[in-house]
Structure 1
Amino acid sequence: MDQLSAISVELAELDGQISDIFRALSNGFQKLEKVKDSSRQSRQLEELTGKMRECKRLIKEFDREVKEQESRNTADTNKMLNEKKQSLIKELNSYVALKKQYASNLDIKRVDLFDGPGGEGYAEDNGLVASSMTNQQMMDTGNNMMDETDQVIERSKKVVEDTVNVGADTAAALKAQTDQMSRIVNELDSIHFSIKKASQLVKDIGRQVATDRCIMALLFIIVLGVIAVIIVKLVNPNNKDIRDIPGLGPPAARRLLWDPK
């Protein structure tokens, strides 16, 4: 920092602020290891992410200041400043990697600072990071980003395919339930018709039984009347009020064929 003070007060101040944030990040991650509650870990990790975001902004200001002073400094000074910048970037990236590890353990599924394509980390730091990378490193980084993008697309395809399959299964299940309900309704109609027909048949049988009982009762009364007449005729055969019943009356006087009269 003394060398930076001799070159530029602005660079020295930026370096001091960045160093303070690095110390805060180091202490924060050490405390994070002792926290067991996942929600509390998540909150502390968000605070550390905010500090890394601020550190990234300061490093970008440091890079702009170095470029502005590049024409006024010697080659050795510019080399020292670039090495200092790369050292700051490397240290920040180490905390980024540590943050990703904790985020993965907490199963945090969001695109955040330094989280790759579409995020506000490396995508915003192209000028800063690219200035400290070789062509091969830039190509490797680009390939890695493309691979990550392909993986995201494949996962999205898998989600869409699973959603379509679930929709097809749901439609098939609904159709099967609809068919089953139709069969149940038809069976209920058949049962209702059978019950109605059976009720009518029971009524017809009841009327027929009532008619048969009346006939039986009438025949019974007639039989009782005949038996009563027979009994009276047997008891009092000379009763003139009771007409003769064939076969039961007293024998009439018959004239013998051989009667001399």
Structure 2
Amino acid sequence: MSSLSSISETLGELDGQISDIFRALSNGFQKLEKIKEASRRTRQLEELTDKMRDCKRLIKEFDQEVKDMETVNDANTNRILNEKKQSMVKELNSYVNMKKQYVNNLENKRADLFEGPSEGAGEQNVLLASSMTNQQLVDHGNQMMDETDQAIERGKKIVQETIGVGTETAAALKAQTDQMSRIVNELDSIHFSLKKASKLVKEIGRQVATDRCIMALLFLIVMGVIAIIIVKLVHPNNKDIRDIPGLAPPAQTRKLLSYAN
């Protein structure tokens, strides 16, 4: 098999992408050796971890493509593809172990600042890695990548919950703002209504005062008429009191008319 592209174009593309990531990881770890500042080393490790995560995803896609083509390819081709996949996994795990070793070294250096150097810790880690089989290295690398993925998922969940809380808080603040605006508008309407009512009460008061004056005047007129009627009835022959039409005695009027005739 000269190239994976002759078997599958997808496998060829995946193999090329994975190879590019492996070269980037190799150069990245070489660069990491030359970095002395702790913060820069930490950032470089984070970038390398992202590349390893992408590589793991591509290897899974490569494995799925190999499984999909098992029924099409012959046994020899399937064997070669599986060996290629195992080689990719082994190389990725080697970088995972290198990253873990760098992380442990950083942690040990930080601990040495407070507790002093621990003798034999680095040698113990090297011996532990060298005593593991290839399958154990693969399993250990997969476990580390799974733990990293779980930590990322937990971080995403926390971010989503934070965004949800922020959205609910913003909605509640908007609702309260709208409610305050409505209250202010209602208070303005009430104030306007009170001013209008006060003006109307004043107008009614003035009208009532005018009506009372008119009623008092009418009362005086009526009382005067009644007084004249009473006096006229008591002294019908009083010439000083002017006759009121319709109230003079009828008999006397007829008498005066007979005298005239």
Bigger proportion of residues as helix: 2
Which gives a bigger RCO, structure 1 or 2 (Cα 8 Å, sep 6+)? 2
